[in-house]
Amino acid sequence: MNILLPLEGFFLLIVIGIIFYLLTPRRYQSSDSVANSYDEWTEDGILEFYWGEHIHLGHYGLPPRKKDFLQAKTDFVHEMVKWGDLDKLPSGTTVLDVGCGIGGSSRILARDYGFAVTGITISPQQVKRAQELTPPEVNAKFQVDDALALSFPDNSFDIVWSVEAGPHMEDKALFAKELMRVLKPNGILVVADWNQRDDRSIPLNFWEKSVMKQLLDQWSHPAFSSIEEFAELLTATSRVKGEVITDDWTIQTLPSWLDSIWQGIAKPSGLICFGVSGFIKSLREIPTILLMRIAFGFGLCRFGMFKAVKSS
């Protein structure tokens, strides 16, 4: 009998993971396909096990320095608060966290800054998990809602906050309008998002289009906007006081991609918790993560930051 050596078996699992990746794309079909993807990721617990309560990239400083993967994610929230000048706002300030995931950012905003936070996601399972993770004394509540048709009236929140939700939005112009609509006059919008290079100035070549297609198809993304395009869409709402402020945090967040892969090695107990099938599901994500690292590392993608104040 030919028994595979441990190393051979490991590489066989990698091959199986890559085949699974190629045969099971998660193409965007509607908002339901996004909700279903996040429901699945939340129910199996694999993403939370490796990425913690923050399903977004970390902030490693400028220039980047070595950090604990989970600490970098917490640091990202605090850096975004400072970048948006939100730390100057009083306790009780109302916040809408659009695309809140399982509530990691919402809990920090409520606990560390005294804000009254409402987190929304299109995934019922994420809402359920966010509620489970949030102590009663933390002023953060969660509900299912559609960011393209928010259930809140005009002028509802002092701050509208969103991290890495934009790529899932099919209609970027409507997304911009809804974010600004529910913001109070003189309120502050702060958004962090994955963006592609502005192809109006430098069109994507054949290989770049191929990479972008994989990044869209594998994680239920209909499209990426560029930093320039989304800033223009915010301005086009005619609700922005002054100019939309933008920044590029690609360098600060870039180590997150390889660090996320390293978590699978640093936490071998995941194989015990989730079994071989869970391990293969984890391997399935590695090609997309590597493509993300390549895209962000070579300027095809950029990590965009946006700040806008609503006109009175």
- Report in angstroms the alpha-carbon separations of 41 from 29, 101, 124, 156, 219: 17, 11, 12, 31, 11
Indicate the pTM of the whole model.
0.92
Q: Is the pLDDT of residue 13 over 60?
A: no
Give the chain's mean pLDDT: 91
pLDDT tens column, 56-77: 999 999 999 999 999 999 999 9
CATH of segment(s) 26-310:
3.40.50.150
Q: Return the SS3 of 205.
A: coil
Q: Answer for the pair 118, 95: CB distance below 8 angstroms, yes or no.
A: yes
Provide the token pair at 47: 């993403």
The span from the CA of 37 to the CA of 26, in Å, is 8
Q: Is the pLDDT of residue 239 over 50?
A: yes
Question: Going by DSSP bridges, is the β-strand pair 157-163/94-98 parallel, antiparallel, or unpaired?
Answer: parallel
Q: What pLDDT score was predicted for residue 2?
A: 39
Q: Answer for the pair 119, 141: CB distance below 8 angstroms, yes or no.
A: yes
The mean pLDDT of 243-254, rounded to a whole number, is: 98
Q: What pLDDT score was predicted for residue 22?
A: 62
Could you tell me if residue 114 is left (phi over 0), alpha (psi between -120 and 50 degrees) or otherwise beta? left
297 confidence band (pLDDT: 50, 70, 90):
very high
Q: Within a 10 A sphere around the Cβ of 149, how many other Cβ atoms? A: 9
The span from the CA of 178 to the CA of 190, in Å, is 13
Q: What pLDDT score was predicted for residue 12?
A: 55
Q: Answer for the pair 156, 180: CB distance below 8 angstroms, yes or no.
A: no
Q: What pLDDT score was predicted for residue 147?
A: 98
The mean pLDDT of 2-10, rounded to a whole number, is: 45
User: Which residue has 């923050």 as its token pair?
Assistant: 54
